[in-house]
Structure 1
Amino acid sequence: MLKLLSFVSSHNFTPLSNFIGGIQFQSAFTPTNHFFHLARVFSSISHSQSKMEADSYMFGPYKIDKKEVFYSTDLSYALVNLRPLLPGHVLVCPRREVKRFGDLSADETSDLWLTAQKVGKQLESYHKASSLTFAIQLDVKEKEMKQSLDLDKERKDRSIEEMAEEADEYRKLF
């Protein structure tokens, strides 16, 4: 499973360069940053609230409650994070699961970046941030990556109500 990871928006940060599955990414870890976590990859740009309500969503083996989804296209969806690092740390996923970035079709790849741009622009404005950083993570190293992102602080799962409330706020941006 391919994931896009760590959309960072901040005023000041010091990047940490890492290599995950051979693909470089930069992330920043300071209390003033807002993370936008992009996971697995995205697609088509026609948002439809009624379509979003009718669809079901999967994240790998996990079924995603539609209340967690705040943006949806024909080929992708954006949802809030179960364990966000900071406010604004969200996931954007493709409808179709792929193992590698190169497995995406041209339309999916285009939509991936257009969706990232659209969601990123809205959340950057919402959180009054000044920059964005995107990265790709492959599952091969996901466990190691997760450990490095924990920052010696155990984060607890949020309730569906808490995530639904955040998704409602973000949904208003679109």
Structure 2
Amino acid sequence: MTTFKFGPHLIHESQIFFKSKLTVGIVNLKPIAAGHVLVVPKRNTPRLGDLSTEETVDLMLSARKIGNVVENHYNCTSLTMTIQDGPQAGQTVPHVHMHIIPRKKGDWENNDDIYQELEDSKKSKGVDNEEREPRSLEEMSQEAKELRAYFQYE
């Protein structure tokens, strides 16, 4: 795999840090916090309910593995793990994905403000917020390399 199709986007292999049978872990182009990554089924499927039982189980087990690594690597004390399932829920890429965001005490004034931050990081009609500067391929590749070291990677 040299690229991975995430909805309509092509993700370069260097941005992938985790692979299981049915799931990949990728770094985020426009993270809202250091270590904000995505867990994505390999099959391009828009909604959580469209996944098979095996894909759903693999997604959740992968999220747990990735979450443990992210929590350790970024020295955080908690994680926000969220799936925006459909456009009215804030999903901007029509491909099931779980956000894993490292959390520390006091990182947001009110704990649930993180959800507003996720929403504010996007514009209406499913287009990424142009105000948030995307990271370079080099920055994303470096982060993926650091995280990849924690996993047996194919």
Q: Is the 8 A contact 2:32 2:117 kept in 1?
A: no
What's the % identity of the aligned pairs?
40
Aligned to 1:83: 30
Aligned to 1:106: 53
Q: Is the 8 A contact 2:2 2:12 kept in 1?
A: no
Residue 135 in structure 1 maps to residue 112 in structure 2 = no
Aligned to 1:160: 137
The Cα offsets for residues 139-166 of structure 1, whole Å up to 9 and x where unpaired, read as 41336x7873339x93201111111011
Residue pairs, 1:16-35, within 5 angstroms? none
The Cα offsets for residues 56-82 of structure 1, whole Å up to 9 and x where unpaired, read as 311101111001001111211011111
Residues matched between the structures, number: 120
The TM-score, its normalising length taken from structure 2, stands at: 0.69
The TM-score, its normalising length taken from structure 1, stands at: 0.62
Aligned to 2:68: 121
Name the Cα RMSD after superposition: 2.4
| Counterpart secondary structure, 2:75 | coil
| Counterpart secondary structure, 1:120 | helix
**Deviation, structure 1 residue 97:** 1.8
Query: Gaps (5+ residues) in structure 1?
Result: 1-53
Cα distance change of structure 1 residues 55 and 159 upon mapping to structure 2, 3 Å threshold: closer
